[in-house]
Amino acid sequence: MRKILPMLSFLRRYRVVLLIYTLLLIAGLILLATFGKADIHIVINRHTTAFGDFIMKYITHMGDGIFAAAVIILLLFVSIRMSLGQLMAFLSSGIIAQALKKLVFSGMPRPSVFFEGIYNLHLVEGIRIARFNTFPSGHSATTFAIFFCLIFTTRNRWLQAVYFCMAWLVGFSRIYLSQHFISDVLAGSFIGVSMAMLSVYVVSRWKAQWLDTPLQNHLFAKK
């Protein structure tokens, strides 16, 4: 992140991952427009498995604030600049998602309420099911912000692929667990990716060289 790039160059550097994300987003929107969020949710809910139930209830926690805080703290010991980029993306995506959820789309029913009397959802045991304020998905906004910040701060293609897949997997877990509809996850992902891109770019513009060093270099620096 030491080299300061104009926004166009920044976008060009990560054009492959951004293109793949955009194509998946468009595909999701086409599915949504064609079949509707209810039908898509029912199809996914009918294809749950015991293994899926087990793994998804743990994977979904990577969209929690605790996980984001852990990543931000750990990155302090890699690069202060990377940690600050993560913090900015986490806070901004969270504020936007919560503002939309509670001020603009307040009270929108989640799947557990939406399908009452219509379809008997398969719900995973041990998961506390939320009932309202479904749009957008806050977990998705957080996880896409976190993982795309990691994508934007590495050149390793394999790591980028892993982070990319993890972001989508956490987003899918929100649908699988009937905490959100596909529309909520797509919107959350867009917020997260946008804030990750903006945050990493803004932080990369800060010229202080000490930001590129890990925290321990300052804690244990000789006076």
Distance CA 176, CA 195 (A): 25
Predicted pLDDT at 157: 93
Q: What is the pLDDT of residues 79-115, one digit of tens each?
A: 999 999 999 999 999 999 999 999 999 999 999 999 9
Band of pLDDT at residue 208, cut at 50, 70 and 90 = confident
Distance CA 188, CA 207 (A): 31
Range of 4-8, 153-157, 194-198 with top mean pLDDT: 194-198
Longest dimension (CA), the chain: 70
| The two structure tokens encoding residue 84 | 């600050």
Q: What is the pLDDT of residues 178-189, one digit of tens each?
A: 999 999 999 999
| The two structure tokens encoding residue 82 | 């990377």
CA dihedral 72, 73, 78, 80 (to 10 degrees): 70
Percent of the chain with pLDDT over 90: 83
* Percentages of the chain per state (helix, strand, coil), in multiples of 5: 70, 0, 30
**How many C-beta neighbours within 10 Å does residue 16 have?**
10
Buried b (16+ CB within 10 A) or exposed e, 150-186: bbbbeeeeeebeebbebbbbbbbbbbbbbbbbbbbbb
